[in-house]
């Protein structure tokens, strides 16, 4: 007779023995982590959030000066200091060092420079071996005035400026090398905590990489600007009866806007402005070739601006068929105040005087390189004594950010607002127009447009 079977409950076979390794059922909910762990986690999250915000602000800086200022302020916040000093000097280059202070005036910086470099923590992180710094890369001096071995001149300067402690940190990374160093000053004896040193060390390494990129970018921009300036006239000619002034700025990538002023036979003067399509070294090289060619054609047949631009069109079509350009050439006889000009897709000149401010009506024509044969009628006009003829490239209009019709109106308004006392000075006229058109200045880093303004004042 077989043993009775136990009943099954919910599909579980009661004959299968329960494993001795099975955990006992939970009798109560586990206790939450301790307050200490929660506080620590909250502190880590807060530190990471702060570091993220500071690095985001640093990454948004587009110029070296802005980045250095942001680094000084962020470092001071991380180590709990009020004042600081930063020195940027990349080894192996001819770039002069940059010194920037936070909460320190020019006189304060002058006092600090009188202290022997090797006697300061900043000097040691700039020149000393890596072992001179702590594990985080910095040098803490928690009690300057209490240091018996402190350099006497350093003690005198610290007392004068009212700081009692400092923390110096090199600006270095494996990829960028050592770019410089920073030091932050405390009003009372003290030093940053281990957590503060860790955070500012992480921030400084990121900042070093960002500074290295900006340094290379600014060096490249400076090289481009130098090349562009060398491709343009080194000085403007002096012709009786007319005075000249020019302003030119190249975009960060280098562009093709140019101008020229050259003396011609019979005491005449040739004025030209133009723009080559594109940007970068290729556009700059094309601009140089175009300007040189126009000078040659102007010397041979400058009294006929249409012939000058026709020859330039033919040359461009034969040698650089994929290139387009705009140009305006004016043949001037200062003795008789006669101007004959022709334009190829270029913006019209503007005449400014005591009695008028108006654009010269020129014939509408296509840019160079867009037609099989370029030719358009020339325009002749006579500036009155004391009037200024303003030539410019469309980069001046585009940098305003306005639509072209509004930009033309804005230029007219800027010229009309030149004070009467300045209208007989072509340099003052160009500077006033540029200030009115570009309140942020010509050197705005986020603009890719070249700007050329050439003014001719007829006596």
- Residue 23 in any domain: the answer is no
Identify the pLDDT of residue 410: 96
Identify the pLDDT of residue 135: 42
Specify whether 203 is located in the same domain as 251. no
Choose one of 224, 242, 267: the last residue of a domain. Answer: 224
Specify whether 324 is located in the same domain as 427. yes
Mean pLDDT on 254-282: 88
Beta bridge partners of 85: 101, 183
Identify the pLDDT of residue 187: 94
Residue 133: pLDDT band (50, 70, 90) is very low
Specify whether 210 is located in the same domain as 303. no
What does the pLDDT look like over 230-252, one tens digit per residue? 777 878 999 999 999 999 887 76
What does the pLDDT look like over 21-77, one tens digit per residue? 455 555 655 555 566 676 677 767 788 888 899 999 999 998 889 999 999 999 999
Choose one of 224, 258, 289: the last residue of a domain. Answer: 224
Look at 129 and 376; give whichever has higher pLDDT: 376
Are 414 and 437 in contact, with CB atoms under 8 Å apart?
yes
Look at 255 and 323; give whichever has higher pLDDT: 323
Choose one of 190, 224, 258: the last residue of a domain. Answer: 224
What CATH code is carried by the domain that includes residue 217?
A: 3.30.450.40
Specify whether 391 is located in the same domain as 302. yes
- Residue 22 in any domain: the answer is no
What CATH code is carried by the domain that includes residue 314?
A: 3.60.40.10
Structural domain count, the chain: 2
Identify the pLDDT of residue 106: 92
Specify whether 267 is located in the same domain as 179. no
Mean pLDDT on 196-223: 88
Q: Name residues whose C-beta falls within 8 Å of residue 430's C-beta, 6 or more positions apart in sequence.
A: 245, 246, 247, 390, 453, 455
Specify whether 453 is located in the same domain as 319. yes
Lowest mean pLDDT, pick from 123-132, 284-293, 325-334: 123-132
Structural domain of residue 143, as residue ranges? Answer: 47-224
Specify whether 107 is located in the same domain as 247. no
Specify whether 416 is located in the same domain as 378. yes
Specify whether 77 is located in the same domain as 207. yes
- Residue 207 in any domain: the answer is yes
Look at 128 and 262; give whichever has higher pLDDT: 262
* Nearest in space to 355 (alpha carbons), one of 395, 327, 315, 383: 383
Specify whether 146 is located in the same domain as 77. yes
The number of residues making up the chain comes to 459
Specify whether 210 is located in the same domain as 281. no
Token pair of 167, please? 């923390």
- Residue 330 in any domain: the answer is yes
Specify whether 202 is located in the same domain as 323. no
- Residue 123 in any domain: the answer is yes
Mean pLDDT on 443-452: 71
3-state class (DSSP) for residue 390: strand
Evaluated on CA atoms 92, 95, 101, 104, the torsion sign reads positive
């Amino acid at each position: 007779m077989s043993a009775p079977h136990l009943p099954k409950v919910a599909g579980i076979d009661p004959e299968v023995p329960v494993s001795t390794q099975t955990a006992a059922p939970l009798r109560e909910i586990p206790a939450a982590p301790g307050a200490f762990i929660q506080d620590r986690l909250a502190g880590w999250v807060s530190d990471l959030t702060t570091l993220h915000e500071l690095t985001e602000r640093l990454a948004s800086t587009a110029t070296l000066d802005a980045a250095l200022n942001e680094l000084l302020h962020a470092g001071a916040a991380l180590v709990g200091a009020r004042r600081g000093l930063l020195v940027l000097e990349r080894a192996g280059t001819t770039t002069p060092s940059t010194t920037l202070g936070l909460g320190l005036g020019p006189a304060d910086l002058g006092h600090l420079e009188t202290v022997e470099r090797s006697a300061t923590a900043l000097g040691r992180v700039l020149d000393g071996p890596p072992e001179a710094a702590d594990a985080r890369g910095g040098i803490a001096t928690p009690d300057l005035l209490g240091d018996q071995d402190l350099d006497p001149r350093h003690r005198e300067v610290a007392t004068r400026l009212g700081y009692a402690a400092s923390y110096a940190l090199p600006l270095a990374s494996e990829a960028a090398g050592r770019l410089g160093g920073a030091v932050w000053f405390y009003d009372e004896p003290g030093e940053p905590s281990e957590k503060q040193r860790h955070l500012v060390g992480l921030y400084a390494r990121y900042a070093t990489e960002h500074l290295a990129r900006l340094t290379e970018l600014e060096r490249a921009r400076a090289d481009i600007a130098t090349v562009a300036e060398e491709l343009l006239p080194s000085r403007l000619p002096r012709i009786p009866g007319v005075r000249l002034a020019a302003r030119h700025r190249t975009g960060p990538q280098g562009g093709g806007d140019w101008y020229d002023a050259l003396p011609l036979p019979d005491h005449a003067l040739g004025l030209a402005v133009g723009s080559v399509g594109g940007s970068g070294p290729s556009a700059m090289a094309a601009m140089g070739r175009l300007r040189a060619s126009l000078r040659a054609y102007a010397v041979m047949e400058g009294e006929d601006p249409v012939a000058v631009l026709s020859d330039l069109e033919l040359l461009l079509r034969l040698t650089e068929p994929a290139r387009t350009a705009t140009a305006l050439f004016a043949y001037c006889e200062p003795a008789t105040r006669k101007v004959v000009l022709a334009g190829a897709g270029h913006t019209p000149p503007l005449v400014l005087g005591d009695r008028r401010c108006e654009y010269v009506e020129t014939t509408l024509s296509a840019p160079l390189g867009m037609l099989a044969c370029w030719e358009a009628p020339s325009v002749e006009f006579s500036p009155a004594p004391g009037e200024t003829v303003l030539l410019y490239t469309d980069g001046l209009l585009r940098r305003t950010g306005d639509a072209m019709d509004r930009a033309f109106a804005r230029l007219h308004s800027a010229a009309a607002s030149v004070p009467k006392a300045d209208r007989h000075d072509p340099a003052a006229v160009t500077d006033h127009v540029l200030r009115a058109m570009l309140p942020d200045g010509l050197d705005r880093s986020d603009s890719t447009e070249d700007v050329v303004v050439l003014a001719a004042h007829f006596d």
